[in-house]
């Protein structure tokens, strides 16, 4: 295996030593019981750093402070409640079975393991399904205004990859409402003096002393002041790294720096190539776009997806008669229809557009435009499919559609200037979520003692493909329930840490490295902006490590990325100084990390010569074009160890064992 690709070496396997033995439905209880506790009176003696205030970090910070720990928390926004989680639209899953439609904890567990294409841990996924029901109770108690039915029960809707209705929602603003719940809990603890909150402050490195995570280096984004902060444990809740692709549905500032810097200090990075491409985004419109917009998956409950049967049919949608339309998801996957999982819906959209049946205007393949680009343009290929509500409006009436999806329709109209009540929406897949992240064990503990990772920042529970409405569930499970239990065990077993002095040689070294990096970025004084490099990298990643990947393409990307990196350090231009608010400097520093992370993503994608979930290797498909997994070779999580920039990393494999949901080739037909 290693002989085939010389770009990495294989190290010792990695094991999750914390998941207990025994029946899967008892493991979480067992672990909680076996974990050591910290006496409530002693908790205030411990300081925990939490980086991030999204749903994962916000819920963790509030809960740890509520338990009595002293929390020092960071975010780069001006307020914790502006974290990217606020953008989440569609909903949050929970196995409440309010509809009595056959749902159960076991079914949510089963759907998630299968949906993740058998690349997630059974123990973690089962725990997630168990906790899902507690999350809803917690949020309702906080006053989160979930949608309700006429009878007063909480309402639900369906998301892709499942045949029950288990997604709880607050119109198209579920993330916002959940985050306001977490934020008010956080605010209570800030006011009580238990949380020391540092908004507008960005973690730039991790401090590891005597093999343990003991603090961070962070920069005040307003004044430019760089400081060190110390604690007994550090929790990273810094979100995903989808913006390595430049264009994604993520908030513009979401970035990889916190987890990448932790990786460089010794935390393994798992499954970096597992990226989720979301099928329902507004197609790109031009060369100068810097952001893509998601249209919630909930729209697939009532909208029907189609393209013209004939190639190159450019008639307006409303002039194409019914029998000349191809409702291709309903045709290929009759059981799940428009609600197939995201990876399947995305690939199907790509396939029909590749066949020349995509719809415009706009959405043409715009790639190949960035300065220095090594990606060829798509020659004006139309990249869009219709998401049509005409049937739903006929069936339910416009008012009912408006009540359910009104804010999403308004958003679409504002962006495209087309009225989706009159003409079908146009959608196309876009980068949305990263299933990869820092490797963590069952306790959410990374390979650096004292460093934990939660929410989208870790790799944990979704395998190779996350089902819709499961990210909010995981972030809140981690933050409200799992971490607050497991971190006790670590702190109880490591109670007497000496305080770390700011003068400690290790601290001084990390600080100096950070300052030198920023000074160098300012000193190059070249002729290209951080955005121009980011965009070039993003195009390369989308082309070669995006929806479909090949060995040839990945090798091309792996050859090109070090060249871009070299050029970056010769030609980057960062105006201004480091002692002020300087967004160019912030961006440039994030691009430095993307340029390293992208290389690891491509290497991971290259070594995994199988298709699974969001990772579609063209060489590995069934005769009818479906993803073909190779369980005998690749039924493991790939945990990568950093060596040095540009040097071969070390691959540690964590074998996955399936006792309850036996791997089969997924079928949604």
Q: Which is nearer to ligand FAD, 262 or 317 (CB)?
A: 262
Place of tokens 């892709």: 160
Position of minimal CB gap to ligand FAD = 54
- Per rule CB under 6 A, is residue 358 in the interface with ligand FAD? no
- Name which position in 47, 67, 89, 124 contacts ligand FAD (CB under 6 A): 89
| Segment near ligand FAD (CB under 6 A); pick from 79-87, 419-427, 435-443, 619-627 | 79-87
Buried b (16+ CB within 10 A) or exposed e, 130-169: bbbeebbebbeebebebbeeeeeeebbbbbbbbebbbbbb
Cα–Cα distance between 401 and 410 in angstroms, integer?
12
Shortest Cβ 74–ligand FAD spacing (Å): 4
- In angstroms, give the least distance from the CB of 503 to ligand FAD: 24
Alpha-carbon dihedral 541, 542, 545, 550, rounded to 10 degrees: -120
Q: Does 471 contact ligand FAD by CB under 6 A?
A: yes
Q: Does 53 bind ligand FAD (CB under 6 A)?
A: yes
Residue 251 C-beta: closest distance to ligand FAD, Å: 7
Q: Which of residues 602-621 bind ligand FAD (CB under 6 A)?
A: none
Give the residue, chosen from 250, 275, 301, 416, that forms a contact with ligand FAD under the rule CB under 6 A: 250
Q: Shortest Cβ distance from residue 355 to ligand FAD (Å)?
A: 28
Count residues contacting ligand FAD (CB under 6 A)? 44
Q: Determine, following the binding rule CB under 6 A, whether residue 57 of this chain makes contact with ligand FAD.
A: yes
Structural tokens at position 566: 């070299």
Residue owning tokens 């493909």: 465
Contact between 203 and ligand FAD by CB under 6 A: the answer reads yes
Residues 287, 246 contacting (CB under 8 angstroms): no
Residues 436-465 that bind ligand FAD (CB under 6 A): 455-457
The span of 71-79, 360-368, 544-552, 601-609 binding ligand FAD (CB under 6 A) equals: 71-79
Q: Does 202 bind ligand FAD (CB under 6 A)?
A: yes
**320 vs 472, beta carbon nearer ligand FAD:** 472
Compute CA distances 570 → 27, 371, 587, whole Å.
53, 15, 16
Full strand arrangement of the beta sheet holding 233-236:
195-198, 70-74, 47-51, 233-236, 451-453
Alpha-carbon span 599 to 560, nearest angstrom: 9
Q: Is 262 in the site for ligand FAD (CB under 6 A)?
A: no
Segment interacting with ligand FAD (CB under 6 A) among 73-81, 184-192, 227-235, 401-409: 73-81
* Contact criterion met (CB below 8 Å) for 412 and 282: yes
Residues 6+ apart with CB under 8 A from 504: 209
Min dist. Cβ of residue 552 to ligand FAD (A):
31
Q: How far is the CB of 347 from ligand FAD (least distance, A)?
A: 20
Q: How far is the CB of 437 from ligand FAD (least distance, A)?
A: 9
* CA 279 and chain centroid, separation: 15
Give bridge partners of residue 229 from the DSSP assignment: 216
25 burial via Cβ count (<10 Å: 0-12, 13-18, 19+): middle
Selected from 14, 64, 237, 375, the binder of ligand FAD by CB under 6 A is 237
Q: How far is the CB of 407 from ligand FAD (least distance, A)?
A: 13
What are the catalytic residues? 342
Query: Does residue 257 belong to the site contacting ligand FAD (CB under 6 A)?
Result: yes
Q: Which is nearer to ligand FAD, 24 or 203 (CB)?
A: 203
Neighbours of 245 (CB within 10 A): 27
Least distance (Å) between residue 569 CB and ligand FAD = 21
Give the residue carrying structure tokens 């490195």: 205
> Tokens in use for 208?
């590891």
The tokens of 380 are what?
């004006």
Q: According to CB under 6 A, which one of 116, 239, 303, 546 is a site residue for ligand FAD?
A: 239
Stretch that binds ligand FAD, among 8-16, 70-78, 188-196, 408-416 (CB under 6 A): 70-78
CB 435, min distance to ligand FAD, A: 10
Q: Does 387 bind ligand FAD (CB under 6 A)?
A: no
* Candidate residues 84, 96, 617, 652; the one interacting with ligand FAD per rule CB under 6 A: 84
Return the closest-CA partner of residue 479 out of 668, 121, 190, 235.
235
By C-beta, is 513 or 628 nearer to ligand FAD? 513
- Rule CB under 6 A: is residue 175 a binding residue for ligand FAD? yes
Cβ count near 364 (within 10 Å): 20
Torsion of CA 335, 340, 344, 350, to 10 degrees: 100
CB under 6 A: which stretch of 24-32, 247-255, 329-337, 417-425 binds ligand FAD? 247-255
Q: Contact between 73 and ligand FAD (CB under 6 A)?
A: no
CB of 177 to ligand FAD, least distance (A): 11
> Cα(28)–Cα(8) distance, rounded to whole angstroms?
35
Q: Which of residues 472-501 bind ligand FAD (CB under 6 A)?
A: 472, 475
Q: What is the DSSP code string of 552-612?
A: HHHHHHHHHHHHHHHHHHHHB---S-SSS--HHHHHHHHHHHHHHHHHHHHHHHHH--S-B
Count how many residues are written for the chain. 669
| Residues in 274-303 at the binding interface with ligand FAD, rule: CB under 6 A | 294
Stretch that binds ligand FAD, among 52-60, 146-154, 325-333, 649-657 (CB under 6 A): 52-60
Residue 254 found at the interface with ligand FAD (CB under 6 A): yes
> Scanning the structure block, which residue is given the tokens 């090949």?
550
52 binds ligand FAD (CB under 6 A): yes
CA atoms within 13 A on the CB side of 449: 11
d(CA 345, CA 429): 9
| The pairing of beta strand 9-10 with beta strand 650-655 | parallel
Greatest Cα-to-Cα distance within the chain, rounded to the nearest angstrom: 75
Report the interface residues with ligand FAD, using CB under 6 A: 51-57, 74-77, 83-85, 87-92, 174-175, 202-203, 237-240, 249-250, 254, 257-258, 294, 432-433, 455-457, 469-472, 475
């Amino acid at each position: 295996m290693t002989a085939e690709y010389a770009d990495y070496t294989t190290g010792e396997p990695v094991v999750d030593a914390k998941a207990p033995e025994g029946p899967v439905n008892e493991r979480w209880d067992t672990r909680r019981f076996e974990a050591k506790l910290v006496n409530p009176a002693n908790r205030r003696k411990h300081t925990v750093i939490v980086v991030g205030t999204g749903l994962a970090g916000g819920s963790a910070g509030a809960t740890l402070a509520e338990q009595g720990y002293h929390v020092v928390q960071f975010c780069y926004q001006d307020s914790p409640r502006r974290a990217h989680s606020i953008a989440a639209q569609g909903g949050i899953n929970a196995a409440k079975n309010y509809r009595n439609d056959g749902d159960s904890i076991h079914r949510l567990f089963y759907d998630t393991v299968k949906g993740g294409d058998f690349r997630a841990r059974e123990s973690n996924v089962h725990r997630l399904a168990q906790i899902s029901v507690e999350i809803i109770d917690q949020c309702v108690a906080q006053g989160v205004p979930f949608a309700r039915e006429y009878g007063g029960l909480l309402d639900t809707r369906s998301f892709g990859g499942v045949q029950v209705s288990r997604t709880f929602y607050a119109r198209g603003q579920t993330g916002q409402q959940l985050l306001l719940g977490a934020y008010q809990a956080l605010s209570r603890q800030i006011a009580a003096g238990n949380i020391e909150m540092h908004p507008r402050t960005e973690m730039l490195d991790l401090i590891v002393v005597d093999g343990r995570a003991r603090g961070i280096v962070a920069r005040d984004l307003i004044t430019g002041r760089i400081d060190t902060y110390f604690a007994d444990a550090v929790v990273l809740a810094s979100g995903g790294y989808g913006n390595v692709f430049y264009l994604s549905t993520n908030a513009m500032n979401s970035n990889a720096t916190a987890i990448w810097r932790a990786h460089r200090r010794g935390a393994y990075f798992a499954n970096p190539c597992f990226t989720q491409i979301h099928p329902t985004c507004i197609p790109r419109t031009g060369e100068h776009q810097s952001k893509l917009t998601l249209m919630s998956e909930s729209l697939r409950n009532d909208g029907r997806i189609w393209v013209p049967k004939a190639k190159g049919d450019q008639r307006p949608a409303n002039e194409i008669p019914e029998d000349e339309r191809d409702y291709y998801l309903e045709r290929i996957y009759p059981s799940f229809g428009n609600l197939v999982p995201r990876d399947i819906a995305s690939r199907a959209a790509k396939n029909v557009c590749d066949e020349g049946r995509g719809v415009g205007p706009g959405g043409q393949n715009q790639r190949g435009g960035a300065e220095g680009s090594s990606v060829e343009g798509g020659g004006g290929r139309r990249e869009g499919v219709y998401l049509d509500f005409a049937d739903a409006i006929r069936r339910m009436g416009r008012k009912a559609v408006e009540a359910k999806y009104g804010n999403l329709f308004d958003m679409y109209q504002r962006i495209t200037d087309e009225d989706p009540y009159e003409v079908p929406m146009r959608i196309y897949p876009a980068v949305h979520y990263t299933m990869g992240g820092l490797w963590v064990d069952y306790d959410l503990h990374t390979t650096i003692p004292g460093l934990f990772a939660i929410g989208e920042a870790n790799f944990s529970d979704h395998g190779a493909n996350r089902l819709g409405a499961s990210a909010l569930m995981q972030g809140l499970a981690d933050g409200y329930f799992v971490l607050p239990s497991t971190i006790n065990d670590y702190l109880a077993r490591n109670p007497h840490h000496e305080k770390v002095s700011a003068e400690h040689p290790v601290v001084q070294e990390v600080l100096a490295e950070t300052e030198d990096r920023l000074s160098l970025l300012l000193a190059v004084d070249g002729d290209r902006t951080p955005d121009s490099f980011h965009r070039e990298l993003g195009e390369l990643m989308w082309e070669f490590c995006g929806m479909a990947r090949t060995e040839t393409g990945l090798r091309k990307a792996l050859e090109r990325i070090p060249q871009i990196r070299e050029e970056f350090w010769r030609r980057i231009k960062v105006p201004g100084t480091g002692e002020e608010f300087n967004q160019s400097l912030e961006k440039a520093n994030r691009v430095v990390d993307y340029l390293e992370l992208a290389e690891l993503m491509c290497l991971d994608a290259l070594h995994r010569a199988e298709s699974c979930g969001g990772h579609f290797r063209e060489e590995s498909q069934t005769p009818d074009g479906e993803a073909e997994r190779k369980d005998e070779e690749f039924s493991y999580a790939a945990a990568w160890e950093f060596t040095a920039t540009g040097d071969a990393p070390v691959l540690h494999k964590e074998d996955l064992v399936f006792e309850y949901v036996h791997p089969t080739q997924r079928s949604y037909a």
